[in-house]
């Protein structure tokens, strides 16, 4: 970049061009997620030129109205395009869902995309979603191809079995006709030689029929074995497909649900429980002094401690309850059918259980505790609003001594 020299010999940087300043101002607005209003743009322009945070630019540096208008229009156009693209993807998801009623793995993929569209879409979120879908999609494509080949093999085997049965039936009809002919010959035999010839024919036809029956029986037995094996393979592949879809909503460290799984479980529990007139309670729990544990014992021990807690929660909660790792050392529990008092009792019991099930790391006993916040879910709640209330109650528990439970 070229510089200018003042009368005293000091070197100063030339003023940034209007276009460059406009681009920098737009970047500041995007980074701070501010609407492109004239006021915000003027402040971003001042910031881009190196002025004080809230100082107004002087007349000489006032952003040109055309730049403000043009960049504002451009940003609004981009926002409209993003909104339209999201709506188009939602419509595609709806259409794919209607076409894939029996494909649970497709439904799982679609649900993941829909949940992503509900949140804030930034580069990181899009990259994470894309990587997840590519990885799972590749795995599912391989399994689907195996399942298709297995089904084709099973169809061929069943077709061969049908052919064997048809052939056997045809042989049986022929044998019946032959037996009738032999019966007529025996009735009409006028000499011992003629009778002997008929008996020889009868025995020969019987042996031929027995051989055909034996071959057909062996063929059917083999085909039945192959068919049973192929059916087992199809079932195994379908279970693997279901497991691949389940991985999308599972936290890999603790094997509890992840956030995606929690969102799905929350909607289902809210619809089922509240529709039946029963309460639904959400609890947010956070391991106390987890950073200190990590610093003292290492991150591997921290991971083991989280798995220890997750295992205890699964063991001590009801099958109808749901546990999810919300992030870091935070877990969320959904308690359908439990009101605030019942939930308070349940979470307090979990705290006591945790003190008796001591965490062991390299034969060293380490006591783990957690603080918790509880809130009762209403029909109008989203997962975010319910978690916010429970989170505030949980932080009160932290500030009031830890290892305790507070209600929202």
At 313-370, the pLDDT tens digits run: 999 999 999 999 998 999 999 999 999 999 999 999 999 999 999 898 887 888 999 9
> What pLDDT is attached to residue 240?
73
Catalytic residue among 145, 329, 353, 376: 329
Half-sphere exposure (CA, 13 Å, Cβ side) for 354? 27
What's the CA gap between 247 and 108, in Å, rounded?
Answer: 10
The reported pLDDT for the residue numbered 21 is 73
CA distance 45 to 72: 13
* Predicted local distance difference test score (pLDDT) of residue 68: 54
13-38 pLDDT, tens digit per residue, is 444 566 677 777 777 776 776 766 66
Burial of 84 (0-12, 13-18, 19+ CB in 10 A): exposed
Question: Would you call 12 helix, strand, or coil by DSSP?
Answer: strand
SS3 53: coil
Q: Domain extents for the chain?
A: 146-247, 259-407
Does the annotation count 271 as an active-site position?
no
359: part of which helix (H) or strand (E)? Answer: strand 359-361
Rounded to whole angstroms, the Cα distance separating 56 from 49 reads 11
CA distance 41 to 25: 7
Please return the burial class of 167, using the count of CB atoms within 10 Å of its CB with bins 0-12, 13-18 and 19+.
middle
Q: What are phi and psi of 151, to 5 degrees?
A: -65, -40
Q: In this structure, is the dihedral angle defined by the CA atoms of residues 132, 134, 138 and 143, taken in order, positive or negative?
A: positive
Residue 45 corresponds to which tokens in the numbers above? 């322009």
Rounded percentage of the chain residues whose pLDDT exceeds 70: 52
The Cα–Cα gap between 293 and 370 comes to 13
Strand pairing of 330-336 and 359-361?
unpaired
pLDDT at 219: 64
Q: Give the pair of three-digit tokens for residue 135.
A: 């990885």
Q: Sign of the C-alpha dihedral, residues 6, 12, 13, 15?
A: negative
**Of all helices (H) and strands (E), which one includes residue 327?**
strand 322-327
Helical segments of 298-357, H only: 299-316, 340-356
The fold for domain 259-407 equals Alpha-Beta Plaits (3.30.70)
Using CA atoms, how far apart are residues 331 and 321, in angstroms rounded to an integer? Answer: 13
Structure tokens at 349: 């019991």
- Helix or strand or coil: residue 328? coil
Residues of the chain falling short of pLDDT 50: 1-15, 51-62, 101-102
Those residues whose C-beta lies under 8 Å from the C-beta of residue 75, and which sit 6 or more positions away, are 26, 29, 30, 36
CATH architecture of 146-247: Orthogonal Bundle (1.10)
Say which residues have a Cβ less than 8 Å from residue 243's Cβ, sequence separation at least 6.
none
């Amino acid at each position: 970049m070229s510089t200018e020299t003042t009368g005293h010999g000091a070197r100063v940087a030339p003023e940034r061009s209007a276009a460059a300043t406009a681009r920098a101002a737009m970047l500041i607005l995007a980074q701070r997620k501010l609407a492109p209003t004239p006021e915000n743009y003027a402040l971003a322009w001042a910031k881009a030129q190196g002025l004080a945070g809230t100082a107004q630019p002087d007349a000489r540096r006032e952003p040109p109205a055309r730049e403000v208008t043009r960049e504002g229009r451009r940003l609004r156009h981009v926002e409209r395009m993003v909104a339209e693209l999201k709506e188009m993807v939602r419509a595609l998801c709806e259409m794919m869902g209607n076409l894939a009623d029996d494909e649970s793995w497709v439904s799982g993929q679609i649900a993941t995309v829909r949940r992503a569209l509900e949140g804030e879409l930034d580069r990181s979120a899009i990259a994470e979603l894309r990587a997840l879908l590519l990885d799972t999609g590749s795995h599912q494509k391989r399994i689907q191809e195996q399942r298709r080949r297995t089904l084709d093999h099973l169809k061929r085997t069943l077709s061969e079995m049908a052919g064997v049965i048809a052939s056997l039936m045809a042989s049986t009809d022929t044998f019946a006709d032959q037996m009738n002919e032999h019966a007529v010959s025996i009735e009409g035999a006028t000499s011992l030689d003629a009778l002997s010839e008929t008996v020889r024919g009868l025995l020969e036809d019987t042996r031929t029929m027995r051989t055909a029956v034996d071959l057909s029986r062996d063929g059917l037995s083999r085909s039945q074995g192959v068919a049973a094996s192929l059916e087992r393979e199809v079932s195994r592949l379908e279970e693997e497909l279901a497991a691949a879809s389940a991985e999308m909503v599972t936290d890999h460290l603790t094997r509890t649900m992840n956030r995606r799984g929690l969102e799905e479980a929350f909607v289902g529990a809210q619809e089922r429980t509240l529709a039946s007139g029963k309460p639904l309670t959400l609890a947010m729990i956070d391991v106390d002094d987890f950073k200190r544990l990590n610093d003292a014992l290492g991150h591997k021990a921290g991971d083991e401690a989280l798995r220890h807690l997750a295992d205890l929660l699964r063991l001590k909660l009801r099958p109808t309850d749901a546990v999810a790792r919300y992030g870091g050392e935070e877990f969320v529990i959904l308690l359908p059918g439990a009101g605030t008092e019942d939930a308070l009792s349940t979470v307090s019991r979990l705290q006591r259980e945790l003190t008796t099930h001591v965490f062991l790391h390299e034969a060293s006993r380490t006591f783990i505790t957690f603080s918790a916040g509880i809130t009762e879910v209403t029909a109008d709640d989203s997962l975010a609003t319910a978690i916010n209330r429970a989170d505030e109650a949980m932080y009160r528990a932290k500030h009031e001594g830890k290892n305790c439970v507070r209600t929202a």
